[in-house]
Amino acid sequence: MANSGSGDSVVDRVVRVIEAFPAGVTELQLSELAARAALPLATAHRLVRQLAGHGLLELGSGGSVRLGLRLWELVNRNSPTLALRQAAMPFMEDIQQVLNQNVNLAVLDGWEALFVERLSRRGSVANRAQIAGRMPVHVSSAGLALMANQPPAVQAEYLRRFKDPAGKLRAQDVRTLLHETAAHGYAQLAGVVDPDTWGIAVPVRDARNRTVAALGVVVPLHEMRLQALVPALQTAARGIGRQLHDSPGAVSPRSV
């Protein structure tokens, strides 16, 4: 595919246009979209019109650009997480009913936990895990539960590259957290994202005993009850795993 003068391909520029929309934002002015995608205004305008012709974007009045329904349709039609979400939802609803807490489901993507589903309890603590949102492995219980159950080579590479932007943790600290998580069978983090919350997560395994997801809850510190939370989560995770065994489209671990 032909490259631009800067060396990036048309596909590169299309991806930058779509990625330019921040989380929770579905509409941008064309000029802002071009700036966020690091593209000349004329190039952004041409790509936007072409994408709009396929329904992936929509052109509004006054130079506004919106994400198109066709994009949502294509993403959700054959998403590799669709089977996982369908298998997990009944168990997540049960967890929320029994424990009356925020519940989330995440997969590992690179060195981050990517949240694919969540259920929030009205009036509870803030649930920072957003659907299609990401968190670094070391700041989320789901991330630790996922990484602690990866092959040793994957963990070693993660730790080799590890850097904490906040400067609070060293690779050795994270190594200890991963070791404790693997030994206990669950991950726990208190007051990392929010000072008044505690996150607990357990791995979800497929028929080949590979960790494909993490099921977690976010609770207020004063409601922390490991003896109730962990067994309930582990029972639900085993149920999700059994459902995945019977699903031909089940998600498989992504290569890190």
pLDDT of residue 33: 95
For the chain, the straight-line distance linking the first and the last C-alpha, in angstroms and rounded, comes to 27
Where along the chain do its domains lie? 10-75, 79-245
pLDDT of residue 2: 45
Tell me the pTM: 0.77
Tokens (6 digits) for 201: 């997560």
pLDDT of residue 13: 94
Query: Which mean pLDDT values do the consecutive 10-residue runs of the chain (256 residues) have?
Result: 62 93 87 94 94 92 89 77 90 88 92 91 64 88 96 96 90 96 93 78 93 92 77 94 72 48
CATH class, domain 10-75, is mainly alpha
pLDDT of residue 197: 81
pLDDT of residue 93: 94
pLDDT of residue 99: 80
Residue 131 and residue 120: Cα distance in Å, rounded? 11
pLDDT of residue 73: 84
pLDDT of residue 1: 41
- Pairing between β-strand 64-67 and β-strand 27-29 as defined by DSSP bridges: antiparallel
CATH of 79-245, one of 3.30.930.10, 3.30.450.40, 3.20.20.70, 3.90.1150.10: 3.30.450.40
Tokens (6 digits) for 242: 């059994």
Residue 91 and residue 215: Cα distance in Å, rounded? 10
Q: CB atoms < 10 A from the CB of 30, how many?
A: 17
Tokens (6 digits) for 103: 């519940």
Question: Do the domains 10-75 and 79-245 sit in the same CATH topology, yes or no?
Answer: no
